[in-house]
Amino acid sequence: MGIVLQILGGIVLLIVALGVAAWLWLRWQIGRMKKLAKMMGGPVAPVRIHLEPVSEAVWRDPRQVERMAEEFAAAGFSRAGTYRLREVSEVVMAPFVAADGMAYGLITEHPMAGVFAEVVQSSADGHMLTISQAKVTDQSPPPPHKTVIRRTGASVTELLSEYEAHRLPPPIAPHTAAGFPAAFEAAYHRDMTWAYEHGPLKGMNVEQISDLIGEDPDPETYRLLKQQNPLDYPDELEHRLRQTFLKQSGMSALEWDEMRDHIVLVHDRLSSDDLADMLADEVDDEEIYTIAEKHARDSARDTFQQMVDRLNLSDRLDFLAHVDDPLPCDVYRFRVRV
């Protein structure tokens, strides 16, 4: 996210300083991000994925897949089909089930990470062990419900030796061919929800990324991000503030219905232009934008007070309450003109 924000904030400076070269560089960077977005199924990784069985998978590196499959088979693992991700069709998976039904083996071909193998075991209480040879650059700690052992470059046989040395204590969840798709989808959803709520992806502003590269996130991921980071999403922030005020005021549904369209929420996440646009529906005076421009560097509350004083709005506004969740905000109401 840091790179994205740097690009957003530095576009003008880059173009001014480097001219055409900067613009070409920027377009190249955005092009790379668009390709990555298509590989992930959106501008950010989706919070939920779906496996779809395929009768014949076209592997980009069939020889490596065959070598890995032979090692799993030699260790008593049986093939459990082939799957693609609905959201990212380039991702192909071949799962295997251990002879004792206590673990899965998995061969994955990914457009960015290539072909890699893993051994996965889940306990009945939800803890998961993953032993992987995948090449990754992200060294963020795993979620608390997961133990990850990375053995980049190891063979499948070496991964299985690590598995034998680090088996989870019983009871172990059942590992079956029929149950693999649901188990994988549930594990992915749990990991990604944690990553967005508590892990390395917390605080990501998907709207900025979407606007930059022109790709929309899937609706479920977008809802989760807005719920977790309401201050970064104006519509979600307004919804939360209105809900807090409604709960705090104790007014009836009828009272709320009569005033909801005339409520003004003033907080320091608003710009002076935001305030002017918000008041323009109630105030038919172009001076409001002159005031906004003059006080663009002031806080929203100070600018709002200047607008009230300069445009003589005090006789039309009622201060209703101050709320603090999810941030400090003053709540006003415009009186309905009869």
pLDDT computed for residue 184 by the predictor:
93
In a domain, 245, yes or no: yes
pLDDT band at 43 (very low <50, low <70, confident <90, very high): low
**Structural domain count of the chain:** 3
Residues 57 and 118 in one domain: yes
Residues 180 and 58 in one domain: yes
pLDDT computed for residue 259 by the predictor:
85
Residues 55 and 180 in one domain: yes
Residues 258 and 223 in one domain: no
In a domain, 192, yes or no: no
Tell me the residue type at 131.
I
Give me the mean pLDDT over the 27-32 stretch: 46
CB 203 within 8 A of CB 209: no
In a domain, 191, yes or no: no
Helices (H), the chain: 2-18, 20-40, 62-74, 156-165, 180-197, 206-213, 219-228, 234-249, 253-259, 272-280, 287-294, 300-310
Q: Above 50 in pLDDT, residue 18?
A: no
Q: Above 80 in pLDDT, residue 40?
A: no
Residues 242 and 316 in one domain: yes
> Domain of 60?
51-185
Give me the mean pLDDT over the 89-100 stretch: 93
In a domain, 196, yes or no: no
Q: What is the dihedral of CA 226, 232, 235, 237, to 10 degrees?
A: 90
Q: How many CB atoms lie within 10 A of CB 297?
A: 8
Residues 224 and 238 in one domain: no
Residues 58 and 79 in one domain: yes
Give me the mean pLDDT over the 128-142 stretch: 82
Q: Above 70 in pLDDT, residue 234?
A: yes
Q: Mean of the per-residue pLDDT values for the chain?
A: 80
The Cα 216–Cα 46 span in angstroms is 11
In a domain, 309, yes or no: yes
Residues 55 and 181 in one domain: yes
In a domain, 195, yes or no: no
Residues 128 and 166 in one domain: yes
